[in-house]
């Protein structure tokens, strides 16, 4: 099986730029809109898409993504609907990597083996399970591996040199660096902190390093794109969806597209600008 | 070959599992913290100075040992087994919660932490945490569901008097589970200076173990006290279960005594069949929430459903993982009591013994009321009276249709 993640990261690297990873909660504010948002993300320059699996108790998420989860659940989104949405999308785009991100309990309820099999069948590439650290990962990893899917590992500012090998043991796809200790939508890390952290991680792994948490604006994304292999933006996009759905706007995908286009331009130009500076 | 000695008191295993339950299901940012906490706790347990300070504070600040009181009038009223009450409602702050808070604040001090956070449901754990934070001079933030703030106003004011900041949690069901989510969000944001004092025997390892150990003073005392009073072990232990810290504290020292039957009493709210209850063993399934695998109220998609109980302290959709395990192996029986049964037992204790219990142990008393008459007059029950009812008088008045 062609690995969409490694292909896409290699393509971005060949262009001499970081990848833009965008996060939205699947089904936010409803499945129909969310499917159009997914198309808009990719059409506007997202290189990798992370879709949140809605959960009632998103403990690692700040207010923005909590609200996205509530909007999605309130409109009736179920995990099987999210998988169906990915299957539908794959009919038109078989290249863009798609990652599910969420919490373990909905996967446990679905059944880890069934989840992995269905996820592969719809064309998913991997998953990030926030509350499944390496210590508990054996509950899911064998099923994912059997289907050729990645469990994306997370490193954080609290991951010290003693801890890092544990995080990297069995890591694949890419390494997600959580740039600040906190919940999603938190304050931004400084570019110099991110640069130092990426350099430290690069010493320990050949996996691409994606940096997220606290990245909201094109300028912030560009500053990280100079150093990291990928930049993750989530809460800012989810906020835009939240604001638009509060207005009952019917142009949510277009608004998301405009926001992502700005981020994509900044990420694509970041290293050229940095070299020129 | 000799048989290998078996014990039910050795858990959890090195990875924090009690059978299929427990574990460490937390965000990576928190993993180094809970690994540090585990190391610090292992070191503290081995340090006689830590134990000495814990015991000193329990004796002179909390007022332990709490009495084991023969409830003669209640026994006569129900007609059956002799009923003893473990009087943890007489502790400083009015509930068993303080036992654990003393232990955890000493750990926090040992680890050099300078800021305390906690979640609370009924407010008893919040008050106990605010109390020890005041005693040790540390700033303290208590997360409490907005709905619980409405129904537990006296405890909110107590926490504020003690210098704590009470933050209302407006997300989700606005009760204990949401307060715990918010406390975890605070902890993950303030990793360097903050100690999270979890109030029940749940959460990521090592919390279920250390909370149980600190609360086991209840069972250790009860064991010595019943031996002194009756010269033998009790036939039955009874305790209410929300997260289950008072119950595991009473039960744990007796787990290897096969003659001692144990019943944990969950809150069945309006009745299990209505779906509006907090009985995660009777009405839940195994799942992962708040750092541990345990029995949870959830829908078929793994979304957590809202618990209901008249008792804010039992209004939680999960249970400590050690209880989930003891349930799975059948060592402890678990029953349930409804809001109505708890209210009835609440009034029964007021009138027979002159003791106003909290609504939480009123659930245990409701089960005592059912079971005691079926037992022989020389059988012995110990029920854990884990909190006093001052905080609940407004809730009870409303339920009884009385305007104060």
Q: What's the pLDDT tens digit per position in A82-122?
A: 999 999 999 999 999 999 999 999 999 999 999 999 999 99
CA–CA gap between residue B181 and residue B188 (Å, rounded): 11
Q: What is the pLDDT of residue A271?
A: 86
Instruction: Tell me the backbone φ, ψ of residue B140, rounded to 5 degrees.
Output: -145, 130
Where along chain A do its domains lie?
4-154+230-276
Q: What share of chain B in percent tops pLDDT 70?
A: 99
> Does the CB of A176 have a partner CB in chain B at under 8 Å?
no
Q: What is the pLDDT of residue B169?
A: 96
- Active-site residue (options: A28, A47, A50, A229): A50
Q: Among B15, B25, B29, whose Cβ lies nearest the Cβ of A178?
A: B29
CA–CA gap between residue B404 and residue B394 (Å, rounded): 8
Q: What is the pLDDT of residue A65?
A: 95
Any catalytic annotation for residue A247? no
Q: What is the pLDDT of residue B60?
A: 98
Q: Would you call B189 and A183 a contact, using CB atoms and an 8 Å cutoff?
A: yes
Mean pLDDT of chain A: 96
pLDDT band at A39 (very low <50, low <70, confident <90, very high): very high
Mean pLDDT for the stretch of residues A180-196 = 90
pTM for this predicted structure:
0.96
Quick one: how far is CA B336 from the chain centroid? 16
Contact list in A for residue B31 (CB cut-off 8 A) is 133, 135, 158, 163
Q: What share of chain B in percent tops pLDDT 90?
A: 92
Please name the residue of chain A whose CA is at the shortest distance from the CA of residue B299: A109
pLDDT band at B153 (very low <50, low <70, confident <90, very high): confident
Decide: residue B333, CB within 10 A, 0-12 exposed, 13-18 middle, 19+ buried: middle
Any catalytic annotation for residue A61? yes
What pLDDT digit, counting tens, does each position of B41-64 carry? 999 999 999 999 999 999 999 999
Mean pLDDT for the stretch of residues A176-184 = 93
Bond into A276 cis (ω within 30): no
pLDDT at B2 over 60: no
CA–CA gap between residue B244 and residue B265 (Å, rounded): 9
H/E element holding A202? helix A191-204
Task: Determine contact, residues B295/B286, Cβ cutoff 8 Å.
Answer: yes
Mean pLDDT for the stretch of residues B213-235 = 98
Q: Would you call B31 and A158 a contact, using CB atoms and an 8 Å cutoff?
A: yes
Task: Determine contact, residues B336/B265, Cβ cutoff 8 Å.
Answer: yes
CA–CA gap between residue A188 and residue A191 (Å, rounded): 9
Q: Among A104, A109, A155, whose Cβ lies nearest the Cβ of B25?
A: A104
pLDDT band at A2 (very low <50, low <70, confident <90, very high): low
Q: Among B25, B32, B296, whose Cβ lies nearest the Cβ of A158?
A: B32
Q: Would you call A133 and B300 a contact, using CB atoms and an 8 Å cutoff?
A: no
Q: What is the pLDDT of residue A185?
A: 87
Using DSSP's 3-state secondary structure scheme, residue B169 falls into strand
Please give the CATH number for the structural domain made up of A4-154+230-276: 3.20.20.70
pLDDT band at B1 (very low <50, low <70, confident <90, very high): very low
ipTM of the complex: 0.96
Cβ of B68: how many Cβ atoms within 10 Å? 20
CA distance B145 to chain A (A): 14
Q: What is the pLDDT of residue B151?
A: 77
Q: What is the pLDDT of residue B6?
A: 85
Task: Determine contact, residues B373/B78, Cβ cutoff 8 Å.
Answer: yes
Q: Which of B95-104, B112-121, B146-155, B179-188 has the lowest mean pLDDT?
A: B146-155
CA–CA gap between residue A98 and residue A47 (Å, rounded): 9
Mean pLDDT for the stretch of residues A43-49 = 98
pLDDT band at B3 (very low <50, low <70, confident <90, very high): low
Q: Where are the alpha helices (DSSP H) in B216-338?
A: 217-230, 245-251, 280-283, 321-329
What pLDDT digit, counting tens, does each position of B357-384 carry? 999 999 999 999 999 999 999 999 999 9
Helix, strand, coil % in chain A, rounded to nearest 5: 50, 15, 35
What pLDDT digit, counting tens, does each position of A117-141 carry? 999 999 999 999 999 999 999 999 9
Q: What is the pLDDT of residue B71?
A: 98
Q: What is the pLDDT of residue B5?
A: 57
Q: Would you call B28 and A57 a contact, using CB atoms and an 8 Å cutoff?
A: no
Q: What is the pLDDT of residue A1?
A: 47
């Amino acid at each position: 099986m062609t690995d969409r993640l490694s292909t896409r990261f290699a393509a971005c690297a060949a262009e001499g730029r970081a990848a833009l990873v965008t996060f939205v909660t699947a089904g936010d504010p409803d499945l129909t809109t969310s499917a159009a948002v997914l198309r808009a993300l990719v059409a506007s320059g997202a290189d990798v898409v992370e879709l949140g699996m809605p959960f009632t108790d998103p403990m690692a998420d700040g207010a923005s993504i909590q609200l996205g989860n509530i909007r999605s659940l309130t409109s009736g989104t179920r995990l099987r609907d999210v998988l169906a949405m990915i299957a539908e999308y794959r009919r038109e785009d078989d290249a863009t990597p798609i990652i599910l991100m969420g919490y373990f309990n909905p996967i446990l309820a679905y059944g880890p083996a069934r989840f992995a099999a269905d996820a592969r069948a719809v064309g998913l590439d991997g998953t990030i399970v926030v509350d499944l650290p390496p210590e508990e990962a054996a509950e899911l990893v064998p099923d994912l591996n059997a289907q050729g899917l990645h469990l994306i590992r997370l490193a954080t500012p609290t991951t010290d040199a003693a801890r890092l090998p544990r995080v990297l043991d069995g890591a694949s796809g890419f390494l997600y660096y959580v740039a600040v200790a906190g919940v999603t939508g938190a304050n931004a890390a400084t570019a110099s902190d991110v640069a130092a952290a990426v350099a430290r991680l690069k010493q320990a792994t050949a996996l691409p390093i994606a940096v997220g948490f606290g990245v909201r604006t094109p300028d912030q994304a560009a500053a990280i794109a100079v150093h990291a292999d990928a930049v993750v933006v989530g809460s800012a996009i989810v906020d835009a969806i939240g604001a638009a759905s509060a207005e009952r706007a019917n142009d949510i995908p277009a608004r998301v597209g405009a926001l992502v286009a700005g981020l994509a331009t900044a990420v694509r130009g970041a290293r050229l600008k940095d070299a020129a500076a | 070959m000799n048989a290998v000695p078996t014990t039910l008191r050795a858990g959890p295993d090195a990875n924090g599992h009690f059978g299929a339950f427990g574990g460490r299901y937390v965000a990576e940012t928190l993993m180094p913290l809970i690994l540090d906490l585990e190391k610090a706790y292992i070191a503290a347990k081995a340090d006689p100075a830590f134990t000495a300070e814990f015991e000193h504070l329990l004796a002179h600040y909390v007022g332990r040992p709490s009495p084991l009181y023969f409830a003669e009038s209640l026994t006569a009223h129900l007609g059956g087994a002799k009923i003893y009450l473990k009087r943890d409602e007489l502790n400083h702050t009015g509930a068993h919660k303080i036992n654990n808070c003393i232990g955890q604040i000493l750990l926090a001090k040992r680890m050099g932490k300078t800021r305390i956070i906690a979640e609370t449901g009924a407010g008893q754990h919040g008050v106990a945490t605010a109390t020890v934070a005041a005693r040790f001079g540390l700033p303290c933030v208590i997360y409490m569901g907005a709905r619980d703030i409405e129904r537990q106003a006296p405890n909110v004011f107590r926490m504020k008097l003690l210098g704590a900041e009470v933050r209302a949690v407006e997300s989700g069901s606005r009760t204990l589970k949401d307060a715990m989510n918010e406390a975890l969000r605070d902890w993950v944001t303030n990793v360097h200076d903050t100690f999270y004092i979890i109030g029940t025997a749940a959460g990521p390892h090592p919390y279920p173990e250390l909370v149980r150990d600190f609360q086991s003073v209840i069972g250790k005392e009860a064991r010595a006290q019943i031996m002194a009073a009756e010269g033998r072990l009790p036939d039955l232990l009874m305790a209410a279960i929300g997260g289950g810290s008072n119950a595991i504290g009473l039960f744990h020292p007796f787990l290897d005594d096969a003659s001692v039957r144990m019943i944990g009493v969950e809150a069945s709210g309006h009745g299990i069949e209505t779906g509006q209850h907090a009985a995660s063993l009777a009405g839940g399934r195994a799942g992962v929430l708040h750092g541990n695998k345990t029995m949870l109220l959830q829908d078929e998609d793994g979304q957590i459903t809202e618990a209901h109980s008249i008792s804010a302290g039992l209004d939680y959709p999960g249970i400590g993982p050690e209880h989930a395990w003891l349930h799975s192996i059948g060592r402890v029986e678990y029953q349930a009591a409804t809001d109505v049964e708890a209210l009835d037992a609440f009034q029964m204790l007021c009138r027979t013994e002159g003791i106003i219990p909290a609504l939480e142990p009123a659930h245990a008393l409701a089960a005592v009321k059912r079971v005691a008459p079926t037992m022989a007059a020389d059988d012995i029950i110990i029920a854990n009276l884990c909190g006093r009812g001052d905080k609940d008088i407004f809730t009870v008045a409303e339920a009884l249709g009385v305007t104060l």
